[in-house]
Amino acid sequence: MSKKVLIISSSPVKDGNSDTLCRKFAEGATESGNQTEKIDLRDLKINYCRGCGYCSTTDYNGCCQKDDMALILDKLLDADVIVFGTPVYFYAMCGQMKTFIDRCCAKYTKIKGKEFYFLITAAEEDKKMLNRTVEEFRGFLDCIEDCEEKGILYGTGVWKKGDVNSTEYPKQAFEMGKSV
């Protein structure tokens, strides 16, 4: 059965290490007959959450800010599978991903029954050092009803752009995408 797969790449670098893994995941998911869309946060204007509470006080359950986030929120609701790809900076997800997650506040209670995958890359060699980043993602999932964490790809030991290409991680991302 074909699924709608939405991939959120938060890499600020086109064809950077985490962006490459997102692209490979998309290729695998598409090859398996799924409808796949990859969104690059670097190409969008997404403001920080203001914490104003507007989204919780309206029937629309939307945000008062007029930026590109509204387009993504509807895609999150429509997707069956959501993939988050991020580089790790200072042992945490990058700021673009955190801003994106914070802005999900406007509709997070409507994001239900989804499967989630995490693709993370870091210069760090020790996979255990990336647990903090995974826990940040899991904190988001704790707020989502009826969701399931399906897989994590730890792309360790990749620092400079393109380092990931000399590893097995792109192949692993492709296979993970195929398994959706």
Residue 39 confidence (pLDDT)? 98
Residue 126 sits at φ, ψ, to 5 deg, of: -90, 110
Position 61 scores a pLDDT of 62
> Contact 41/97 with Cβ under 8 angstroms?
yes
For 92, the token pair is: 């945490």
Residue 58: the pLDDT is: 64
Backbone angles phi, psi at 112, to 5 degrees: -130, 150
- Please report the sign of the dihedral spanned by the C-alpha atoms of residue 95, residue 21, residue 5, residue 82: negative
* pLDDT for the residue 45: 97
pLDDT tens digit sequence for 52-109: 888 887 665 678 899 999 989 999 999 999 999 999 999 999 999 999 999 999 889 9
Residue 167, pLDDT above cutoff 80: yes
**b/e per residue, 139-163, with b = 16+ CB within 10 A?**
ebbeebeebeebbbbbbbbbeeeeb
Per-residue confidence (pLDDT) for residue 56, from 0 to 100: 80
What's the whole-number mean pLDDT along residues 141-165? 97
pLDDT at 62: 77
Query: What pTM, to 2 d.p., does this model score?
Result: 0.96
